[in-house]
Chains A and B, each alone.
Chain A
C-alpha cells in the first residue's frame, strides 16, 4: 500500500509542477495552442519512454485492442473545455475547489461500483467521512484567504489550473 501512495504523491507533485509550467505557456498564447502542445509532448514522451522500456511491445497490442481505447483520449479535451468554462464563470478559486470535490466524489463512486474492471471497494461510512474531511480541507485551503497578491493576473490564471 505504501508504494501505491508514494506513486500517487509523485503524480500529484508533478501535476502541481506541470500546472505552473502550463500556465507560463498559457500566458503567452491561447488555451488550445497550450493544450495541443502539452498533449503532443505528453504523447511524444510516453511513446519514447515506452519504446525504451517495452520495445516492440508498444505496437503488438495495438491491432487487437478494443475500439473505445482509441477514443478515451478525448476525455482530456473534455477536461480542458469544462475547466476553462468553469473558471470563467466561477473564478479560479471556487472552480478548482469544486473540481477537486467532484473528483473525489466520483472516485468514491467508481470504487464502490467497481467499474471498468476496478477492484470493488465496498462503500462505508468511514470512507464517506474521510472524503468529507478532505473536501473540508480543500475548501479551507482555497477559500481560507490569507494568501497575498491574489488579485494579480498571473496568480489568478495559475490558480485556474490548480
Chain B
C-alpha cells in the first residue's frame, strides 16, 4: 500500500515538474528556468548527500565519462518538454514522452547497447507500444 502511494506521488511530481517548468519559462524564458530549477535541485541533493554520504568521487572515477555526461541531457530534456507542453498541452506531451521513452528502452535492450544485457523483445512489448500509439490517436482525433 505504501509502495503504491510512493509510486503515485512520484508520477504526480514528474507531471507537476513539467507544468511548473512551463509556468516558470513563461516568465523568465526556458533556459533560465531549466538552470534555476536544477540549481535548487542540485543544492538540495548536495545537502542530502552531505548527510547520507552514499558514495563519492572515488566511485565516479570508475564510471565511463559517457555515462557520467548523461546528466547534461537534462538541459535538452527540459527544453523540449516545456516547448512540447506549450504547443500541445500536458496530456499529449506526457503520452508522447512515455512512448518514446519505452521505445528507446526497447531499442537499447534489444540491441544490447551501452553494455546493457541483451533482452529479446516479444509480442507483449510490441502490442504495448501499439496500444499506446492507438491511445494517442484516440486522444487527438
- Residues of chain A touching chain B, judged by Cβ–Cβ distance below 8 Å, are 1, 3-5, 7-22, 24-25, 28-50, 53-54, 57-58, 61-62, 65-66, 69-80, 82-83, 85-86, 88-90, 94-96, 98-108, 110-111, 115-119, 121, 126-127, 129-150, 152, 154-155, 158, 162
Are A126 and B101 in touch, CB under 8 angstroms? no
- B128 to chain A: which residues have CB within 8 Å? 137-142, 144
Q: What would 17 A/B residue contacts be, using CB atoms closer than 8 Å? A: A4-B92, A12-B97, A18-B77, A22-B71, A33-B49, A39-B41, A46-B31, A69-B33, A72-B37, A75-B16, A79-B13, A107-B95, A116-B22, A129-B138, A130-B140, A134-B98, A148-B119
User: Which of B33, B38, B99 is within 8 Å of A9, CB to CB?
Assistant: B99
Q: Which residue of B lies closest to A59 (CB)?
A: B32
Question: If the complex has contacts A4-B88, A86-B10, are A152 and B117 also in contact, measured as CB distance less than 8 A?
Answer: yes
A126 to B91, CA, bound (A): 12
- B93 to chain A: which residues have CB within 8 Å? 4, 8, 11, 107
A31 to B8, CA, bound (A): 20
- A100 to chain B: which residues have CB within 8 Å? 11, 98
A17 to B133, CA, bound (A): 20
**In the complex, which residues 6-48 of chain B have their Cβ closer than 8 Å to any Cβ of chain A?**
6-17, 19-24, 26-29, 31-42, 44-46, 48
Are A147 and B109 in touch, CB under 8 angstroms? yes
Question: If the complex has contacts A16-B105, A90-B3, are A42 and B74 also in contact, measured as CB distance less than 8 A?
Answer: yes
A110 to B92, CA, bound (A): 12
